[in-house]
Amino acid sequence: MKLAIVNGLVCDPVAETLTPGGVWIAEGKIVATGSPPPDFTPQRELDARGGVIAPGLIDLSVCLREPGFEAKGTIASETRAAAAGGVTTVCALPETQPVADTPAVIELIRERAEHAARARVVPVGALTCGLGGERLSEMHALGEAGCRAVGNAGRPLANPLVWRRALEYAATYGLTVFVRPQDPWLAAGGCAHEGEVATRLGLPGIPASAETVAVAQILALVADSGARVHFSCLSTARAAAMIGAAATDGLPVSCDVAAHQLHLTEQALEGFDASVHLAPPLRTLADRDGLRRALAEGTVTAVCSDHRPHEEDAKLDVFAATEPGAAGLETLLPLVLALVDEGVLTLPRALARLTMGPAGVLGLEGGRLQPGAPADVIVIDTEARWPIDADHWYSRGRNTPFWGQTLKGKVRYTLVDGRIVHPG
C-alpha cells in the first residue's frame, strides 16, 4: 500500500530537529520525508495536523509474560498495549516459563508475536540455563534463533568466574549482554531503598551500593573480555556516572533507565502503595535528578518502560510480600514528554532517547525516519491529555503508580512496516 502522513512536524532524532512536512510510505518502507516524492499517489492519507511524526518507539525492557504467565499478560495483549503506546519494537525478556533459553522457546515467542501482528518482538535469550546462574546457555543457538542479546533477568550468577565466562562466550558470538545490576547479597530480603523513608516505614532496605558494587564488578570483567554490555534499568546517579566514565575510557558499555525512575522517588512509598513496589527500588531525589542529568547529557542513551504486568492478586498483600514491577508500555511516552515540559530535554532529544538511542544498543534498523528504512512510524498529539483508567488501557496488567492520573501526550497512529496497528 502507498500511504502518506501529511501536515505534521517531522522529528529527526539524529539532527534533533522538528520540520513541517510529511512522510511517504510504499511497500512497508519510507520513500521520502519532508516533501512528497515525484508522481507519488497515495492510496490512503493520514492527517497529522497539530501532531508530531516520529519513528516508532523501541523499548529495551518488556516482560510479555507468555509463555507461562498468561494470567498476567499475553503476547497479544501486551503488544496491543505497545501499539497504543507508540512502541513498535519490544525487547522481550527471558523470564518466561519455560525460560527462553532454547531456540524452541524463542521460536514460539516469535511465532506468537507474528500472529498478533502489533509490534516487532526481539527476544532476549537467557544467559544461563533456566536463569539458574550456573550453566551457560547455548548462546550460539539463541543467536541463530533471532536473539540479539542475552541476559539473566536480574537473577544472580553463581560467582564472578561464571560472569567472566558468560561475557567471553557472548562476545564470541557477537551478542550484547543485558545486565540488571544488583548485588544479590547486599539486596537480599529488601523491598525498598535503604534510607530514611524505608526505616520509618519499617521496610527492609536495598542499599544504593547493591547497584554500584554490581556495576563495578561487571565493568572490570568487560575490560577483560571485551564483551558488549548494556546495563538495564539503573536507579542510582552513581552507577550512571560510573558507566559514563567507562564508556569515555573506551569500554563497549551503555545504559538505560526506566521512565518511572525519572519521576518518582522513595517518598512515593508513603502509604504502602504496592504499585510502587519496584525492582530496582525508587531511590532518593538526588538520584532521580542525577539520572535526569545523565539522560540529558547522553550518558544514559535510552529510556525503557521496564513493563511488568501483574494480575490483581499479585499486588494484594502487605507491601513487602507483593510482587515488584509496574505495567509501563502505555505511560512510557507521556512520562518522557513530561520531561520536556519540565525543561529536562528538548522534544527531539526526548524522542531520540526512545528511538535512536535504544536502536543503537542492539544495532536495530529502526529508530529514525529516512528513505529505505522500515516504515515504523507514529503520530503523536503532544498536547492531548488522557486519563489512565480502564477505558483507555490495553495491557492486562493495571499495576501502574499512575493509575487514576491524567497524563499529557497521546499516540494518534502507530504503523509497523507501513501497516496501521493503532488505532484499530
Burial 142-159 (b: 16+ CB within 10 A, else e): bbebebbbbbbbbbbbee
Q: Residue 343 burial (CB < 10 Å; 0-12/13-18/19+)? A: exposed
Strand-pair category, 377-387 with 406-416? antiparallel
11, 93, 295, 353, 354 from 360: Cα distances, Å: 17, 18, 15, 10, 11
Q: Distance (Å, rounded) from C-alpha 300 to C-alpha 247? A: 11
User: What is the residue whose three cell numbers read 492519507?
Assistant: 45
Longest dimension (CA), the chain: 69
Of 305, 302, 275, 276, the closest CA to residue 291 belongs to: 302
Beta bridge partners of 416: 419
Among this protein's residues, is 306 annotated catalytic? yes
Three cell numbers, residue 208: 544504593
Instruction: Mark out the alpha helices in 226-267 (DSSP H runs).
Output: 237-248
- Helix or strand holding residue 198 (H, E): helix 196-201
SS3 386: strand
Among residues 12, 101, 256, 306, which one is catalytic?
Answer: 306
- How crowded is residue 423: how many other Cβ atoms within 10 Å of its Cβ? 10
- Helix or strand holding residue 33 (H, E): strand 29-34
**Residues 6+ away with beta carbon under 8 Å from 323:** 277, 310, 314, 315
CB 358 within 8 A of CB 58: yes
- On the CB side of 241, CA atoms within 13 Å amount to 9
Catalytic residues: 306
